[in-house]
Structure 1
């Protein structure tokens, strides 16, 4: 397969990053990660984060930024992540009152447009990261996620498809990657299995997600970075899980 760089969503090791940001970044770089996707600044300044990343050869690929954070200070928030060199910013989710059919949906679409305009001025692309709740259907039978991408043009909002949540939502992940080929520069690689009816997140290769097929389809669709994420670590230790995941993904990418 084509060699695609791999980032880690720092939320996966949030406690470690809060306790020792520099040490955590060093270990992630040693595992073979090429970059990071931030989820907050972990009590550090932009300069401190930038220095640590540079020292470890890590790229600040992107960041998850809630719409509420943009709403409070659009220009300041954008300037922060632009200073770190982020090429993408992703809205990680929408609260219930902002989703399709809810009272603030139209208002949120307008806000997304304003955020995207600010992003473009700084050479950043705005994305949306899905969970499983977007796979409810409109009265016309359209998934809420698809409706969002119909309501907001591709040149305004790209997608960061999360392969775990697409699968949990009942959709076919490779089919979704093909559907949004060219609109999905970042792909969240995440694995899971169902235990007693609950979704349990796991390192790549330990669950139901077809990592190799997804990686190949994503590459064919123009993915620029893979982002490995594991929100929780029920059966393992965060750093060990993230090391196992990158080893599995690299193994497939080397084929």
Structure 2
């Protein structure tokens, strides 16, 4: 039963073969009977991998997007189109506007494709919710590059969990700590934060490495006295601290 649950595409004969390899000489028919008695359908009718299994297996090929909503001190609402690559956790802040439209969203998608350049060839899936701003023209920008468009189900934020998580991070580390004056101010703050996020901020899923870790290797602090060389550097208008060794 466990093999069938962990391998949805395996039929009773494939499971029999794996058991034989492990030294259990059992015919195919008893395997089928056990699966049938347990209510497990034949492989073609069985459910595929879970959503979590799919995201884990395809992380390197997934990019996801959503909107961050920001209220200014003058109670004006601004919208930020956020993209994040699952595999590297690299963040892209596509644009800021007070009046998002389908045409604006399409243009930001085109700009992102240009910025990704050759890297977009390694992506296969785009995940987003059912926001009407993600129009058919928006989706075509990515499908034309060979990506498959995946729309999440209604009221199911977990289907876009990584993007939801980074939006929560933006709220906690920026939105809740900085009074935003206007669109220009927000764009400047986000650009500075983007440099911090991609170049310095550690990520557990990447063994505490930032998204651009290959361009910024960790310092090898083998000497305990090396701690004296650590210096603090405030970023994002002083709300976040980075720590570096003095060169």
Alignment TM-score, normalising by the size of structure 1: 0.27
Higher RCO (Cα < 8 Å, 6 or more apart): 1
Larger radius of gyration: 2
